[in-house]
A and B are shown apart, each in its own frame.
Chain A
Amino acid sequence: MTLDVQGGSFTVLLGPSGCGKSTLLRTVNALVKPQSGRVTIDGNDVAEADGTQLRRGIGYVIQAVGLFSHMTVGENIAVVPSLLHWDRARTAERVDELLELTGLPPDRYRDRYPRELSGGEQQRVGVARAIAAEPRVLLMDEPFGAVDAILRAGLQDEMLRIVRSLKTTVLFVTHDVDEALRLADRIVVMRQGRVEQYDTPLQILTKPATPFVAQLLGADDALRRLSLMCAGDAAAAGQSTAPETIAADASLRDALNRLLGGVTRLSVVRDGAPIGTLGLEEIRKALQ
């Protein structure tokens, strides 16, 4: 297989269990050495780099989190900075900054032990620990697989906000289609160690390359497709008299929800200014 991942992008490796997505992920930080082929970061072959040095520059988050139970939350987050010999003051400052960033007030969380935290809080610490030394690449292996569904969406949004602000290149493994569609700039659909399709979520959903991709993604699921399209693109031009408004970057799925809820037409607004109107007719057109 050949994959070229854009720097700064969020790429999801999606596929059923045992398709090789985790193994592929672990070749990037050289925890798994490929029998043949190469993995390069910025043109440098990872096989030629010193493994430990390489990994200190690559964030790594796993489903089981793997927090060190004998260290406090703060000490866990400080692991990579300490491996890189940051001084005490800089490390302490960074730890608090990361706790703040991941929504865990430093004064309450810094000195607690992992076992005192909930699953969701533990994985926040896991993410904070992985990005502590500002890695250019972040590898995430089903990080929210063990978090219950109610919390998962919140964690996904937060994580997305954090990695966007870091401009880190993210490789994210999951078998959850909705998670992939929600997070990815690009999705790699894998099956039995091979790439079935590598494209944007919308392209994969609307133009699946193989029957396997279509089946896995549920490409005929209209709601799924609507959730990837935005109101601004589907709106019909023209002045609107409809009092109900929706933001241009809201998804068509949200729009449909409103329309089915009793509103006959919506005004689409961007930055407060109306740009068009939206009704069931426009949504039907967008799906064709």
Chain B
Amino acid sequence: MTWDDLLLHARAYVALASAALALGMLAGIPLGAASSHVRALRTPVLTLVNIGRVVPSLAMLTFMVPLFGLGFRPALAALALLAIPPIAINADLAFRGVPAAALDAAAGMGMTRTQRFARVEWPLAFPLLFTGVRTAATEVIASAVLAAFIGAGGLGEYVTTGLQADQPKWLWTGVAAIAVIALAVEFALAFTQRRLEKGR
């Protein structure tokens, strides 16, 4: 166990978590936007998303193995699916929370549909939407440790190997590194959010 080794695993870990979060946003934000704008979609989307939320992380990872085999891809798919619910639910709430008066005023002033979305709806929905992304980031980082069980590598390997070889030192190294990353990401996102919402 060396520093180089730790950095290598940390990098793989962050890459996996970021990719999963990115995919989760790519799917979750449009889902939330759709369910908040189209009444008929709301119940099906939110039901589906809530089912996704109650599936345990480990189960989700295990489900992916028959579909994708072992390694990075099933872990990515499982973690992305875990990221979707908080993002989609918050996006739905965020868009529905945009004051109707602001949208009415925007339309009345002659904004096109696109301008209304880009200049009014998105910025007003953003704070709550971003909160969902923060929640998802924390969940993904915490759950990515399990990816090692299906051979996706990363810091989880310290935990699995530590458990198997009865080496508490390895185990704690992995856990500590993950905690540091989770805290760092949470601070970075909180800071970003404050910067973006300055004055409001």
Contacts and interface: CB of A to CB of B under 8 A. Distances in A.
Contacts, number: 74
B124 A68 contact: yes
A58 B123 CA distance: 25
Nearest to A76: B105
Interface stretch (B28-36, B76-84, B110-118, B155-163): B110-118
Interface stretch (A49-57, A161-169, A256-264): A49-57
Interface in B84-115: 99-112, 115
Looking at B110, B120, B123, B199, which has the most chain A CB atoms within 10 Å of its CB?
B110
Contacts of A67: 102, 105
Contacts of A72: 199
Contacts of A56: 109-110
A55 B108 contact: yes
Contacts of B197: 70
Interface in A118-132: 126, 129-130
Contact of B105 (A51, A53, A57, A60): A60
B39 interface: no
Contacts of A64: 99-101, 104
Nearest to B107: A31
A83 B115 contact: yes
A62 interface: yes
Interface string B110-153: 11100100011001101000000000000000000000000000
Contact of A113 (B119, B120, B200): B200
Contacts of B119: 68, 79
B101 A66 contact: yes
A80 B30 CA distance: 29
Nearest to A65: B101
A52 B110 contact: yes
Nearest to A57: B110
* B interface secondary structure, majority: helix
A182 B34 CA distance: 46
B111 A52 contact: yes
A284 interface: no
Interface residues of A, number: 29
Contacts of B200: 69-70, 113, 115
A29 interface: yes
A62 B106 CA distance: 11
A68 B120 contact: yes
A52 B112 contact: yes
Contacts of B126: 70
B111 A66 contact: no
Contacts of B124: 68-70
A52 B104 CA distance: 13
B123 A70 contact: yes
B112 A62 contact: no
A163 to B, nearest CB: 17
Nearest to B197: A70
Contacts of A55: 107-110
Contacts of B109: 55-56, 60, 79-80, 83, 129-130
A62 B105 contact: yes
B126 to A, nearest CB: 8
B65 to A, nearest CB: 45
B110 A80 contact: yes
B104 A66 contact: yes
Interface in B174-200: 197, 199-200
Nearest to A130: B109
Contacts of B111: 52, 79, 83
Contact of B108 (A60, A69, A113, A115): A60
Contacts of A129: 109
Interface string A29-59: 1010000000000000000000111111110
6 contacts: A53-B110, A54-B110, A62-B105, A69-B99, A113-B199, A139-B108
Given A52-B111, A64-B100, A67-B105, 19 more contacts: A31-B104, A51-B110, A56-B109, A56-B110, A57-B110, A58-B108, A60-B105, A66-B104, A66-B105, A68-B105, A68-B123, A68-B124, A69-B124, A72-B199, A79-B111, A79-B119, A80-B109, A115-B200, A139-B108
Interface of A: 29, 31, 51-58, 60, 62, 64-70, 72, 79-80, 83, 113, 115, 126, 129-130, 139
